[in-house]
Amino acid sequence: MTAHLAPRRITIATRESTLAIWQAEHVRSRVSARYPGIAVDLVGVTTQGDRVIDRPLATMGGKGLFVKELEGALRDGRADIAVHSLKDVPMELPDGFVLAAIFAREDPRDAFVSNRYDRLSALPKGAVVGTSSVRREAQLRERDPSLRIESLRGNVNTRLARLDEGRYDAIILAAAGLKRLGLGTRIRALIEPDESLPAPGQGALAVECSADRTDILAALAPLADRGTTLATSAERAFSRGLGGSCVTPLAAYAEWQEGRLWLRGFLASRDGGEVLRGERDGDVVDVEDASALGLALADDFLRRGAHRLAAA
């Protein structure tokens, strides 16, 4: 980036949870390390998804509730960029906004957290499992229909506290969040993708900005991780092709290595009674290739009846 294009100050809009602040600070440290002359500030924003934690996200409009107010801060000039967990970002951004960079992915897996049992397979019949994700719920119910799946909202520490109060036999969280907060010791077992396929974009951080901020786009481009960008572009294209949202029990996970991408997808009924799985791989050199791979897998699912499951 040439000097005359460099912004002199960048303000980051972030949610005010401990994890969101960690993520924003991580982006700030990366920007400051590459551009020591740029001042980087944070502005906290409380979103509707943070304010209302006594109802499932699916009944409130989805994970986009974590994003809208941050986009408002970009729109009215309070911030230049917003930092998101990519899995919370809707598949279609509002007009005038783009993802400027996707950073290197943390562990994309789900984590099994329990004070009583050391792994998912050790849960007894009728065990109470807490999760806020219909994707996790469907995969848990497919595995063991006897499990009692109960809603679990709030920030990471709130969820752990509710487990410690004895309300649940186990809870399922994203491993990335626990590790970023130094809470990796709470993980009793990591759930491999073969057992519970992650949400599209899980473990990755995304930076959003206004599409006309060419200075921001130029500054952040070198900080993007190519492998993560390609993998998550395929995952999000798969979800987009099926009309996925947070009320859809949909999962996708891609791995990129040496120019080749392997994408796995999952779609189910919420009770786990009906399940579609599939995979596709191919040579991928750019985001367009990755998105095409994701859409091709979505087309495979549609040919196999995915319309009915997605509509339900």
* Active-site residue set: 88
Could you tell me how many residues make up the chain? Answer: 312
In terms of DSSP H, where are the helices of 165-286? 175-180, 214-220, 226-241
Q: Is 299 helix (H, G, I), strand (E, B) or coil?
A: helix
Beta pairing, strands 260-268 & 128-131: unpaired
Instruction: Say which residue the tokens 């987009």 belong to.
Output: 240
Instruction: Say which residue the tokens 């409380």 belong to.
Output: 46
From CA 231, how far away is CA 252, in angstroms rounded?
10
Give the pair of three-digit tokens for residue 184. 């990796």
In terms of DSSP H, where are the helices of the chain? 18-34, 48-51, 68-75, 134-143, 156-164, 175-180, 214-220, 226-241, 287-303, 306-311
Give the pair of three-digit tokens for residue 58. 């699916």
Exposure pattern of 85-118 as b/e (b: 16+ CB <10 Å)?
bbbbbbbeeeeebebbbbbebbbbbbbbbbeebe
CB distance 112 to 187 below 8 Å: yes
From CA 229, how far away is CA 42, in angstroms rounded?
24
Question: How crowded is residue 1: how many other Cβ atoms within 10 Å of its Cβ?
Answer: 15
